[in-house]
Structure 1
Amino acid sequence: MNAIKQGYKQTKVGIIPEDWEVVKLGDICKFQQGVQVDLELQKNYPIDGYVKFLRIENYTQNSNDFRYIPINLSQNKTIAENEIAIVRYGATAGYIARGYNGVLANNLFKLIPNLKFIKNEFLYFCLTSQKVFNFFQSEMAGGAMPALSFGIVEVLKLYLPPLKQQEKIAEILTTWDEAISLHVKLIEEKEQLKIGLMQKLLSGEVRFSGFCDEWKKVKLGDICNITTGTSKSQFIGEGDYYVIDMGSVSSTGNLIASKKTALQKDLLQKGDLIMPKDDIGGGQIIGKVALIEEDNKYILGDHVFKIVTKQNSRFLLYKINSFEVNNNLKRKVTGSAQLGLNKKNVEDLQIYLPSLPEQQRIAEVLSFADDALNLLKKELEELKQQKKGLMQKLLTGEVRVNV
């Protein structure tokens, strides 16, 4: 048995600093259920005498689609922007929420901490830790619909340092959150700049010096060979190749490869474009294209078109995924539960095409913008992982703070 370090003690749930305690959440917090309000009493615009009614989607989807209810129906169950709520029912049960002033719907509940024992900000970081997430998920497992009862929440065990240490830990983690928020904002700004750049370059509104030839109006079928694949589901398993099917293209035109196979039939080549021709997810991916970047790594599956061209395929990637062209494609979609895109409709799609050298130049500039964005996104993920590791050490007392 390993010796316990000086300044630490053994508890039933692990080794913690000597001046820390193990507490149940129910001993240091009260819980307040949200209110139920009939739909016909809810307004979707602000009005005198009404208060903002906060639903799950406002928190989990960062949705600004707010409802408003008569203030006399609030039952004095208001929540402030910095106070903590938890989703109680549904697919996102256990989600830790905050950020709005209003009244909670009845599928959420508010935590009211006893500030003599725990600081609100420290509590927030405790609840957003991986340990708490894992506990909630394991306790809710097995039900037809995930539900987080007060009984589950009450027995959640937390490591509780003295108040001064709580403040310092929260201060450190808040600094990391601020750095992450700044990075998110920078990514959003770069994405907006890229959208504007795409619009100007892909329409010919802005052109590079040395290019003055008129762009030609062409049908996609005149510059591309469009074919479909067959199902490879029976061959999915182990192997060195990835099957590319309907779920392999994201709504942003990125390739998602996860299904492996040993089959060497219908190999895709570098420069091929893949377009989902069917969609059961609400139309987010149909008509989008992803670019194959390597030879002999991917296998063509079903529910997608393979598009082969002698034009610059990266330029076509940006062109087809642009708002205007992609919207034109989506207008040709048929079906309701399962959406479908006819091959002839894709072949008949008309676009304006510059010369091959100009295509190359435009693709290079937009690729550079993509690379810069991807680097920022990678840095963001690294920041999140670093914060996650630091949280684990700070919230268990493995790393101590000076106060």
Structure 2
Amino acid sequence: MMSNIPEGYKQTEVGVIPEEWEVKKLGDISEIIMGQSPAGNSYNQNANGIALINGPTEFTEKYPIKIQWTTLPTKLCKEGDILLCIRGSSTGRMNISNESYCIGRGVAAIRAKVNSDGSFLEFQVQNAVKKILVLTTGSTFPNIDGKSLKNIEIAVPPLPEQQAIASALSDVDALITALEQLINKKRDIKQGAMQQLLTGKKRLPGFSGEWEIKKLGEIADVKTGPFGSSLHERDYVVDGTPIITVEHLGERGVVHENLPMVSDFDKNRLNAYALQADDIVFSRVGSVDRNSLIKEKENGWLFSGRLLRIRLNTKYIFPAYLSYYFHQEPTKQRIRSVAVGQTMASLNTEILKNIEVAFPPTVKEQIAIAHILRDMDTEIEALEQKRDKYRALKQGMMQELLTGKTRLV
């Protein structure tokens, strides 16, 4: 039987890799320090002692942030160590230590040994996260112990190739980081613009006059979605008219993934709950400040019983303006504060109708404000798409470079 293994490669426990590569256990090429929580009475938020990392509370995109400190440190990590969550639903999340920290029992520090490149190890651990998660499958409280972590097998090239691989992947990481920073900057600018434009603190050239304040019920019709008895999961079909639920309410519009659908018969039966372009749909339970503006492509879709639908009188209000108004934090806080329910926050039509909204005296000014904010959203979205392309590129490169399919040396 002819072998499908290319010349210069070999079959190993981790798959086909180059002849000169080795399969090693994570514990052979790195020192693994399992965290240990210090005494509870040593915790403080006054920066006394050394910062404590419990994970994932302190984890960010790359480096941890300081939230609490301990005066009785137990296990310490060093600058450059890989920090890995090893307990609970966040198992597998990673950060990189940018200084020395005390690590609690929910975190392990992984430190490259001599003849192992730290950056290469970081990418290999990222690549091994799926293996780590498999080790926790079936557990009601996922966690991974030190022995299991040390026994994870990875493919290891000679040091010069490790360094070349790490350099290539680090270059892509740098591009992703730069885009993340730019996206965050643009988001901050947009938040500042919303605070100015949606409150009247800053008026656009050519506009004047006193802003109006009205209760939502004075300028809109508010309707609750169908009762549970009107629509069941058994009514869903593979191809039909989509139903929007709480999970589909995004900041910039409806999320078009995993939408339940109903047949034409049920669509006609539930026609009273059909949406129109420029409606706004609100979560009725749970995250009651979540809402989305309905666009033309969602015209005719249905909304679920867990939502409230707002249909505006466009003589007074431009729908996109009000959508932005509802997405500013002060308005969100106001909505959360009037919700009812002890175990789960909820809204009803009367509560929403009594929410006061402020808007410029002319629809023309409202349109101008909405267009400025929409242009900012468009710019942010384009940057996010570019970042996501680089992320996909990085994943592809990791599959090629960390298995030796593509060689750099």
The 1:202/1:243 distance shift into structure 2, 3 A limit, reads same
| In 1, Cα distance between equivalents of 2:83 and 2:213 | 55
Q: Deviations over 1:334-384 (max 9, x none)?
A: 223210123222212222222111112211111111111111111111110
1:144, distance to aligned residue in structure 2 (A) = 2.0
Partner of 1:282: none
1:246, distance to aligned residue in structure 2 (A) = 2.9
TM-score normalised over the length of structure 1: 0.90
Match of 1:89 among 87, 90, 94: 87
Match of 2:324 among 298, 318, 321: 318
1:43, distance to aligned residue in structure 2 (A) = 1.3
1:288, distance to aligned residue in structure 2 (A) = 3.3
Q: Which moved more, 1:84-93 or 1:238-247?
A: 238-247
Task: Tell me if structure 2 keeps the 8 A contact 1:240–1:297.
Answer: no
1:253, distance to aligned residue in structure 2 (A) = 5.8
Listed as ranges, the matches of 1:217-256 within 5 Å are 217-230=213-226, 231=228, 232-234=231-233, 235-250=235-250, 252=251, 254-256=253-255
Task: Tell me if structure 1 keeps the 8 A contact 2:219–2:313.
Answer: yes
| In 2, Cα distance between equivalents of 1:325 and 1:109 | 41
Percent identity over the alignment? 24
| In 2, Cα distance between equivalents of 1:119 and 1:169 | 10
1:179 maps to 2:175: yes
| In 1, Cα distance between equivalents of 2:141 and 2:16 | 35
1:20 maps to 2:26: no
Q: What SS class does the counterpart of residue 78 from structure 1 fall into? A: strand
Task: Tell me if structure 1 keeps the 8 A contact 2:59–2:65.
Answer: no
**Cα RMSD for the two superposed structures:** 2.0
Q: How many residues align?
A: 388
Q: Deviations over 1:119-174 (max 9, x none)?
A: 12111110001xx1221122211122111122322221111111011111111111
1:57 maps to 2:56: yes
Q: What SS class does the counterpart of residue 56 from structure 2 fall into? A: helix
Partner of 1:388: 395
| In 2, Cα distance between equivalents of 1:401 and 1:87 | 31
1:236, distance to aligned residue in structure 2 (A) = 3.0
1:61, distance to aligned residue in structure 2 (A) = 4.9
Q: Counterpart amino acid of 1:95?
A: R
1:59, distance to aligned residue in structure 2 (A) = 4.3
| In 1, Cα distance between equivalents of 2:402 and 2:383 | 28
Q: Deviations over 1:164-193 (max 9, x none)?
A: 111111111111111111000000000011
TM-score normalised over the length of structure 2: 0.89
Task: Tell me if structure 2 keeps the 8 A contact 1:20–1:162.
Answer: yes
Q: What SS class does the counterpart of residue 221 from structure 2 fall into? A: strand
Partner of 2:122: 124
Q: What SS class does the counterpart of residue 396 from structure 1 fall into? A: coil
Q: Counterpart amino acid of 2:406?
A: V
| In 2, Cα distance between equivalents of 1:333 and 1:368 | 32
Q: Counterpart amino acid of 2:363?
A: L
Q: What SS class does the counterpart of residue 23 from structure 2 fall into? A: strand
Task: Tell me if structure 2 keeps the 8 A contact 1:58–1:65.
Answer: no
Listed as ranges, the matches of 1:154-193 within 5 Å are 154-193=150-189
Q: Counterpart amino acid of 2:50?
A: V
Match of 1:199 among 195, 199, 208: 195
1:139 maps to 2:135: yes
Task: Tell me if structure 1 keeps the 8 A contact 2:285–2:306.
Answer: yes
1:66 maps to 2:67: yes
Partner of 2:294: 292
1:297, distance to aligned residue in structure 2 (A) = 4.9
Gaps of 5+ in 2: none
Task: Tell me if structure 2 keeps the 8 A contact 1:287–1:341.
Answer: no
Task: Tell me if structure 2 keeps the 8 A contact 1:94–1:148.
Answer: no
Q: What SS class does the counterpart of residue 88 from structure 2 fall into? A: coil
Match of 1:327 among 333, 346, 350: 333
Gaps of 5+ in 1: 280-284
Q: Counterpart amino acid of 2:144?
A: L
| In 1, Cα distance between equivalents of 2:331 and 2:5 | 65
1:364 maps to 2:371: yes
1:22, distance to aligned residue in structure 2 (A) = 1.3
Q: Which moved more, 1:179-188 or 1:95-104?
A: 95-104
Partner of 2:97: 99
| In 1, Cα distance between equivalents of 2:282 and 2:223 | 10
Q: What SS class does the counterpart of residue 178 from structure 1 fall into? A: helix
Task: Tell me if structure 2 keeps the 8 A contact 1:44–1:65.
Answer: no
| In 2, Cα distance between equivalents of 1:212 and 1:28 | 68
| In 2, Cα distance between equivalents of 1:106 and 1:288 | 35
Match of 2:355 among 349, 353, 370: 349
Task: Tell me if structure 1 keeps the 8 A contact 2:58–2:67.
Answer: no
The 1:389/1:236 distance shift into structure 2, 3 A limit, reads same
1:305 maps to 2:308: yes
Partner of 2:77: 79
1:269, distance to aligned residue in structure 2 (A) = 1.4
Q: What SS class does the counterpart of residue 198 from structure 2 fall into? A: helix
1:31 maps to 2:32: yes
| In 1, Cα distance between equivalents of 2:289 and 2:52 | 37
Match of 1:377 among 377, 384, 387: 384
Task: Tell me if structure 2 keeps the 8 A contact 1:246–1:302.
Answer: no
Task: Tell me if structure 2 keeps the 8 A contact 1:59–1:98.
Answer: no
Q: What SS class does the counterpart of residue 50 from structure 2 fall into? A: strand
